[in-house]
Amino acid sequence: MAGKNKLKKFADLSILDNVYQNFDYLNPEIKHVDNTAVDLKGKWKEKVYQNTHPLVVELACGRGEYTLGLAHQDQTKNYLGIDVKGARIWQGATTAKEQGYDHVAFFRTRIELLAQFFGQHEIDEIWITFPDPFLKDRKVNRRLTSPHFLEIYKQLVKPNGIIRLKTDNPKLYHYSLQSFTEDSGGRVVFHHHNIYEMPYIPEALQIKTYYEQKHLADNCSIKYIEYQLNGE
């Protein structure tokens, strides 16, 4: 039964008009409804959202809980959740449709291919929420805050744009803090090892996904880093 449900979700993705997909990682082509090819590089705001509002991207968005939480708080921005797992994106996309969130969309692709699909400085802000920490040293370049990925983000995020990390993992937190600090393309403007000890918690940090609630139940502290790219 689970397998059939998963197949149905994959089929649904091709008819949801708030979902975009890249099927062939060797071919940077985006497919939309009924697998129609669309060219969105440099045109996401115009073609997907029909406006010029800021574009906020959540990487490794999973079921899109954080994307949806941000969209609920602020409807003056465009939100795009990105993940490689189609069944996860299905949940976020269907919830967005149920909520009538026209300022929310989802994109199924591999994060290392972002530069193939976005124009220079097209993104205003990136959220990285509870990503796989890839704790083994041999997988360090797969961490979404590694210098490898920072170079990709710097091409796509506007000058003075923000990259935000929220994680429960101490190793990823300290690694990311060092990675951001050593990068000459911007500066760490804020970080905290336990946001729920802060006297004031910004509304955007109060969003709790399913996994964050599990981490809190396990007495894990939630860590946060805010990194701002240099201006032109």
Q: Looking at the domain assignment, is residue 7 inside a domain? A: no
What's the average model confidence in pLDDT over 52-66?
A: 96
Question: What tokens appear for 117 in the block?
Answer: 């699909």
Q: Looking at the domain assignment, is residue 184 inside a domain? A: yes
Distance CA 153, CA 144 (A): 10
Could you tell me the pTM of the whole model? 0.95
Q: Looking at the domain assignment, is residue 182 inside a domain? A: yes
Q: Looking at the domain assignment, is residue 103 inside a domain? A: yes
In the chain, where do the E strands start and end?
Answer: 19-21, 30-31, 37-38, 55-59, 78-83, 104-108, 123-129, 157-167, 186-192, 223-229
Q: Looking at the domain assignment, is residue 29 inside a domain? A: no
CATH number at residue 92: 3.40.50.150
pLDDT per residue over 153-165, tens digit each? Answer: 999 999 999 999 9
Q: Looking at the domain assignment, is residue 15 inside a domain? A: no
Number of structural domains found in the chain? 1
**Residue 202: pLDDT above 90?**
yes
Q: Which residue type, as a one-letter code, is found at position 23? A: F
pLDDT above 70 as % of the chain? 97
Q: Looking at the domain assignment, is residue 112 inside a domain? A: yes
SS3 24: coil
What is the distance between the terminal CA atoms of the chain, rounded to a whole angstrom?
A: 54
What's the average model confidence in pLDDT over 32-51?
A: 95
Active-site position among 12, 83, 124, 132: 132
**Residue 231: pLDDT above 90?**
no
Q: Any catalytic annotation for residue 74?
A: no
pLDDT per residue over 173-192, tens digit each? Answer: 999 999 999 999 999 999 99
Q: Looking at the domain assignment, is residue 28 inside a domain? A: no
What's the average model confidence in pLDDT over 77-86?
A: 95
Domain membership of residue 161 as a residue range: 41-229
